[in-house]
Structure 1
C-alpha cells in the first residue's frame, strides 16, 4: 500500500528528444515535495501536483479508476512542444494518495501542499483524481489568502457537486462543503458553474444552488455561438473578486471528446468554448490556481481524454506565461 505521498517518476515524462528542451518532458524538473533543502523554485514556476484519489467517486457510486488520472495526463503533457520562456520553470511535485480510503486525510494533505506551493510563489496546477480534489484545493487557497480576500470558484462541469454531506463527503459534495465552510467563517460563497445540465442534476440541487447564491450557465447556453453572453457572465463574476480558482471536471465535456471519465455523457460541452472561457479568465490576471478532475484512464479511448486534459494544461500554462 502506498503512503499518502509518492515522488514524481521519470517514466511518466518521455517523448521525442531534441536536446534543446523543445518538448515539455525535457523541460520538467522532478522534485520531492517533502524536500526541505534550499528550494529550486524560481520567480516564474508552474508546479504540478497529482491527487491520485478516487475514493470520493467510489463513495458517490461512480466508476473507479480516476486515481490513475494524474500519470495519464503527465504522459501526454510531456510529449507536447515546449513554448515556455526559459524564465518559466515546470516542476512536477509527485502525487498525493488516499491509503485505506481516508479521503479527508488526503484533502488535508492537499491543503498543506497548496499553501507550500503558493508560499514559494509558484502557480499550482493539480491533476485529478476525483472532484473531491476541489475541497482540499480550495481550503489550501483560502488558508493562504486569509479571510479578507474575495476568492471565487469557476467550475467547468455538468454537475453542481452541491450534494449535502449529511451522509458523508464524496465527489458530489465538495462545493456544498466549501459553501458551509464559507458560512462558518462569515465569508461570501462565490461560485460560478459553466455547463450545467438538467439531465445531470436533480431539482433539489437546483434549489440548493439558488439558496446558496450559486451562479451558472446551462449547457445549452455554454456554446461558442453564445460566446458574448459567456464572456460577459465570466467578466461580471470576476469583477467582484480578488482571486479566482478554476476547476475543470472532464466529465462536463461531451464523451465525443472525453470518454475517459467517471461519468461520461454525449450531451456535454466542447473544448472550444472552454478554451475561449479560459482566455477571459487568464487575461483578468485573477487566476490563482487550476485543477483537472475525473480523468479516468480505465475508460479512455486512444488516450483521447488524457490528451484533452494535457492540452488544457498546455494552453493555460502558455497563456499565463504571456502575462
Structure 2
C-alpha cells in the first residue's frame, strides 16, 4: 500500500540553460524525511487525492493535479538567488479511498517541513487537503498560537460532516475541533453556496468578501479587511481553490464557473498578505488536468506558486 511517493526528476523539464535560469534546473528532488534543518527554503508537497471530491459529488481527476502543476512550473524562469533552496519533496497519496489517512499523513509531513524551517507549498488535489494542511500547521505551532485561514474560493466549504467528510467540509471540521476559528473567504458567490451555508458562516463569525466586491476596483477595501483580519492572528495559512477563478482562466477544475474572479485581484491580495510577514504556508487546491484546456489551469496554478516563491520574504 503506497501512501507517500518520493519525488521524481521526471516531472521537471524545460529549456536547458546550464545556468539555473529555469526552475526545473533549480529544483532539488528529495524525500521529506531526508530534509535537514534548512532555513530560506521552499518545499513543494503534493496531495494526490480526489476522494473528497468524489464524496462531494464532484468531477474527479484532481488526483493528478500535483504532477500537472509541477510540469508547468518547471518550465518557468528561476529568479531565486543561490542562497534560496527549492525542493520537490514528493506526494502524499490517497489509497483505498482512505482520505482521512491521507489527510493525517499530510499533517505529519507539513509539520515536519515547518520544523525544518522550510516554507511548505502544497499542491492538490481536492480541497479536503485544507483539513490536513491546517492541522500540520497547528501541530507545529502548538495550541497557543492563533492561526488565520485565508481562503480564495467561491465556496465556504463549511458543509456539515455528519454524514462524512469530503471536499466541502474541511473548514467546518476545523471550526468544530478548535476553540478559536479565524476564517476569511475571498470571492464567495451566492450561486455557489446555499442559504444554510451562509447561515453556518454567520454562526461561526466567518469573515468574507462577496465576488462582486472581490475585484481590483475595490482593492483598497479588500486590503483593509485583510490587514484587520491578519492583525488578530499570529500566523496565516493561505489556501487557493482554483475553482474560485472564472473558468475563462481555470477550466480544469472540479466545479468550473464563468462567474469567478480574476488572477489580478488574487495577486494584489497575496502581495498584501506577504507584506505582513505572517504567512506560514500555502496550498493550491482542485487542479483537475482531466478537464484542462492547453494546460491553462496548470499554468495559472504554477504562476501563483512562482509569484509566491519570488515575493516571499
Say if 2:81 is the partner of 1:75. Answer: no
CA distance in structure 2 between the partners assigned to 1:42 and 1:165 by the alignment = 38
Residue 259 of structure 2: which of 249, 267, 280 is its match?
267
Q: SS state of the match for residue 18, structure 2?
A: coil
C-alpha separation between the residues in 2 aligned to 1:20 and 1:42?
Answer: 23
Q: Which of these residues, 261, 270, 295, is aligned with residue 287 of structure 2? A: 295
Deviation of residue 41 (structure 1)? Answer: 4.9
Distance 1:43 1:213 in 2: 36
CA displacement 1:181-222 (0-9 Å, x = unmatched): 11xxx3x10000000000000000000000001110000000
Name structure 1 gaps, 5 residues minimum: none
The farther-off stretch of 39-48 and 299-308 is 39-48
Count of matched residue positions in the alignment of Structure 1 and Structure 2: 313
Distance in 1, Cα, partners of 2:16 & 2:276: 36
Task: Quote the Cα distance in structure 1 between the aligned partners of 2:280 and 2:105.
Answer: 19
Correspondence for 2:115: 119
Matches within 5 A, 1:188-207: 188-207=180-199
Tell whether the 8 Å contact from 2:47 to 2:129 is kept in structure 1 after alignment. Answer: yes
Q: Which runs of structure 2 are paired with 1:237-316 in the superposition (5 Å)? A: 237-316=229-308
SS at match of 1:308: helix
SS of residue in 2 equivalent to 1:99: coil
TM-score, scaled relative to structure 1 = 0.96
1:157 aligns with 2:150: no
Q: What is the CA distance between 1:40 and its match in structure 2?
A: 5.1
Report the RMSD for the aligned CA atoms in angstroms.
0.8
- Aligned pair 1:211/2:203, yes or no? yes
User: Once the 2 structures are TM-superposed, how far is the Cα of residue 100 of structure 1 from its aligned partner?
Assistant: 0.3
Corresponding position: 1:61 with 2:57: yes
Whole-angstrom distance in 1 between the partners of 2:112 and 2:251: 34
Structure 2 CA distance for aligned equivalents of residues 237 and 221 of structure 1: 17
- 8 A Cα contact 2:32 2:113, kept in partner: no
Q: CA shift at 1:11, angstroms?
A: 1.4
Gaps of 5+ in 2: none
1:101 partner SS: coil
- Which of 126, 131, 139 is matched with 2:135 structurally? 139
Check the 8 A contact 2:145/2:235 in 1, yes or no: yes
Contact 2:151 2:241 in 1 (8 A): yes
Partners in 1 of 2:83 and 2:37 — Cα distance? 11
TM-score (normalised: structure 2):
0.99
- Taking the aligned partners of 2:91 and 2:110, their CA distance within structure 1 comes to 12
What is the match of residue 18 of structure 2? 19
